[in-house]
Structure 1
Amino acid sequence: MTTHASTVLAPPVATPQSAPQERTGPSLLRASGLAVSLFLGARLAGVAVLALVAPAVGRHPLALLGRSWDSVWYLGIAAHGYGHDLPSHAPGEHSDLAFFPLYPALVRLVTALTPLGGGAAGLLVSWTAAAVAAAGIHAVGARLHGRATGVALVVLWGLLPHSVVLSMAYTEPLLTAFAAWSLYAVLAGSWLWAGALAALAGLSRPNGFAVAAAVLAAAGVEVWRGRGRVSHRLWTGAALAPLGWSAYVLWVGLRKRNLLDGYFEVQRQWGSRFDLGRGSWKFVRGLLLTGHRMVFPMALVIVAAGVLLYVLLLLDRAPLPLVVHSGVLLLIALGGSGYFESKPRFLLPAFPLLLPLAGALVRTARARPWHATVIVAALAGLSYLYGAYLLVFARTPL
């Protein structure tokens, strides 16, 4: 069953017969260690740049990383549970039920087991999740295209313009960790792991159901190809995948006495709704006509780049679960209204979009190593400076 799933769901270059050395053995572990080390080095360098800039506003860099914007809400839930809403800069009611429970539960666990306070515990959870995510991203890239591409994929992910979020007490690292390893499990045909990890992803963030969608799409293909004669592990994994997201949405519905729409009403109070892109288009049109500070044009460029990269991913005939996962995240970013400046952050878990760029970087490094070095250095400079700008000067919600 495992071999069949891997062959069906991965492109020809990733079949078990063509590159087994890329997925097993000490060489893979060493490459994974290299990828995680490069990622952690990149993010620590970003923190160092932030430490140089933060005194401009009289803030400690760790305070900026651990207690900014949504992290304050997550830490409040970790300390007090749900139902303790905080003041907001925007008018109207803002319920903490909009924030999914797994991350604050982990923060609360860390504060209970260690002497760390909420902010430090939040950073520990996020940084650990980011390292696990980097290992999973490398595993996916190495399985499909070899160890070098896996390493390049991790480096690019760690140097995205908004990758400062991966160093913050935010939930994107946690979601990406579950997403990466769930997608890897699907490619390997480990359906129970895929479903369980997808369920945990669904408890991490509202857009975490993209992972369940990927698992269900891949399982559906297997059922169709096998005419229903598939392993019980596949059925169990497919059943597990949407449980985390569905359970929380229904729980909020029960608390709001509106089972099916209660959670979505909470999101509407925050100004977030899925309107097929009408709100996004209205915002972009105003941005193009009137101009705005750098955050919004940068967000527009990143989202447009995401669309282009998705087209390239399709042209590369990427495995179905990666296409579905990235497509759903992109659809949410494009079709959702409200907080346009946060859309690049919503795309951070869509790491498969970087696969075409990772392949191009590897080819450049082999043909012209100096060119590849310049490219990586330029990406690092943009990531560090823009990340510091976002936290220190922009004063715009992430």
Structure 2
Amino acid sequence: MSRSASRTVALVALGALLTCSVAVTLAARSSPESSSPARDSWPNAHLLVGWARFDAGWYAHIATEGYSYTPGQQSPVAFFPAYPVALRGLGALGVDTFIAGVLLTLVCGLSAVVLFTRWASLLKGEEAARDAGLLLVLYPFAYYLYGAMYSDALFLLLVVGAFYLLERGQLLPAVLLGAMATAARPVAPALVFGLLVRRLEWKRQRGEKWSLQDALPVLAALGLVVYVLYLWRTFGEPFAFAKVQSAPGWDQQPGWRTWLKVRWFQGFSSSMSVADGLRLVGHAAFSLGALALVWPTVRRLGWGYGAYIAAMVGMPTLSSKDFMGMGRYLLASFPLFLTLALLLHERPRLRRGVLATSAVLLVSLAAAYGAGTYVS
């Protein structure tokens, strides 16, 4: 077990957490005009206000008021239930919803980092696990693991846990965590596909024959299925979470204009600011870079993880009109960080450069998020 690697990565993660928290607090304090759903109840808590931005309001609404759906308008059904249900559970204990959101993200994020390091060590050894863990905790969008009131940290913990248990041969617990994960984010096909392919590959590597039991990963889709049934019974629209994406303001209509990224190209204009240009190019670069790592992942980690990344990155890349959010979504494609660590193993100077650049971007983006700037 990679206790040394886990300890090293955990210490760096704590340092990143503290640094990002300071950046978020100072940014929120210097931007009093920026909005936050937590501002009404905690007007002077700059750290809390800074971490509770954008979709935090939707999660808080679901946790306190429940779901609603209005066709053609932005509605809370777009957000899957696992994270707000956890917030409601903490709220039942008397914890403020926004404090609960920040704490839940922090605990899940740090736990996911430690578990990721152990998973990586199980596959490729302690040195690779340490390098991969550092790439993860200093990833420019890792501030979503350190306090941002979003579901990404919870989802990462669940998917890493599912694959970790799968590698240890604990199929049923892995499927259970997988089902919880598909109740947190609308990516059930990617997770089910990845778990199933990896399970079959795992059995083959051990010279064991496949059996009906090896098809159990398909049950990881139960989280999505339960949510679909709830939407059907409550609102008469089982796929309301998908249909609401087309609402004005979100404008994620399926079709060739989205698939060909027409809106992304239209975003470039003479009046475009440098920040907007960097945001458009940056998220596209992260998406294409992740897809470029699919084959190296197949070669180094196997077909299961390659299939998982291809689906986990490909689905949102295809369905996004302008790549926005992809930097954050790539956190869920956690095998990428191990693949990148293996690729950089023989290039120590490049590895140090990547880590240093990532750390600077991480703090910068955390500060921008705390100031209320939409960066992902």
- TM-score w.r.t. structure 1 length? 0.80
Summarize the alignment of residues 72-221 of structure 1 with structure 2, pairs less than 5 Å apart. 72-83=57-68, 93-113=73-93, 115-167=94-146, 168-220=148-200
Alignment deviations for residues 251-274 of structure 1 (CA, whole Å, 9 cap, x no partner)? 213333244x44432333343355
Counterpart Cα distance in 2 of 1:392 and 1:295: 16
- The one-letter amino acid paired with 1:286 is Q
Summarize the alignment of residues 274-313 of structure 1 with structure 2, pairs less than 5 Å apart. 274-275=254-255, 278-279=258-259, 281-288=261-268, 293=276, 294-313=278-297
Residue 283 of structure 1 deviates from its aligned partner by 2.4
| Alignment match of 2:8 (pick from 21, 34, 40) | 34
- Contact 1:107 1:122 (8 Å CA) reproduced: yes
Counterpart Cα distance in 1 of 2:112 and 2:74: 30
Residue 279 of structure 1 deviates from its aligned partner by 4.2
Alignment deviations for residues 22-50 of structure 1 (CA, whole Å, 9 cap, x no partner)? xx4xxx23432332232232222122222
Residue 348 (str. 1) matches residue 331 (str. 2): yes
Residue 62 (str. 1) matches residue 48 (str. 2): yes
Evaluate the alpha carbon distance shift between residue 84 and residue 379 of structure 1 in structure 2; reply closer, same or farther with a 3 A threshold. Answer: same
Evaluate the alpha carbon distance shift between residue 139 and residue 265 of structure 1 in structure 2; reply closer, same or farther with a 3 A threshold. Answer: same
Alignment deviations for residues 163-182 of structure 1 (CA, whole Å, 9 cap, x no partner)? 22222011111111111111
| Alignment match of 1:272 (pick from 252, 258, 263) | 252
Counterpart Cα distance in 1 of 2:237 and 2:358: 46
Q: Aligned residues, how many? A: 357
**Residue in 1 that maps onto 2:17:** 43
- The one-letter amino acid paired with 1:64 is G
Alignment deviations for residues 105-160 of structure 1 (CA, whole Å, 9 cap, x no partner)? 111111222x4311110111111111121122112211222112112212211222
- The one-letter amino acid paired with 1:216 is L
- Contact 1:119 1:169 (8 Å CA) reproduced: yes
Evaluate the alpha carbon distance shift between residue 40 and residue 233 of structure 1 in structure 2; reply closer, same or farther with a 3 A threshold. Answer: farther
Stretch deviating more after TM superposition (267-276 or 217-226):
217-226
- The one-letter amino acid paired with 1:140 is W
**Residue in 2 that maps onto 1:71:** 56
Residue 326 (str. 1) matches residue 309 (str. 2): yes
| Alignment match of 1:377 (pick from 343, 351, 356) | 356
- The one-letter amino acid paired with 2:99 is A
**Residue in 2 that maps onto 1:388:** 367
- Contact 1:277 1:335 (8 Å CA) reproduced: no
Q: Which runs of 5+ in 2 are unaligned?
A: 35-45
- TM-score w.r.t. structure 2 length? 0.84
Evaluate the alpha carbon distance shift between residue 397 and residue 97 of structure 1 in structure 2; reply closer, same or farther with a 3 A threshold. Answer: farther
RMSD (Å), alpha carbons:
3.0
Residue 228 of structure 1 deviates from its aligned partner by 11
Counterpart Cα distance in 1 of 2:19 and 2:300: 35
Alignment deviations for residues 188-215 of structure 1 (CA, whole Å, 9 cap, x no partner)? 2221122111101101111254222211
Residue 103 of structure 1 deviates from its aligned partner by 0.6
Q: Which runs of 5+ in 1 are unaligned?
A: 1-23, 86-90
Residue 250 of structure 1 deviates from its aligned partner by 2.8
Counterpart Cα distance in 2 of 1:276 and 1:352: 30
User: Identity over the aligned pairs, expressed in percent?
Assistant: 23
**Residue in 1 that maps onto 2:39:** none
Evaluate the alpha carbon distance shift between residue 140 and residue 277 of structure 1 in structure 2; reply closer, same or farther with a 3 A threshold. Answer: farther
Counterpart Cα distance in 2 of 1:376 and 1:226: 36
What is the DSSP-based 3-state SS (H/G/I as helix, E as strand, rest coil) of the residue aligned with 1:348?
helix
Residue 187 of structure 1 deviates from its aligned partner by 2.3
Counterpart Cα distance in 1 of 2:368 and 2:313: 25
**Residue in 1 that maps onto 2:236:** 257
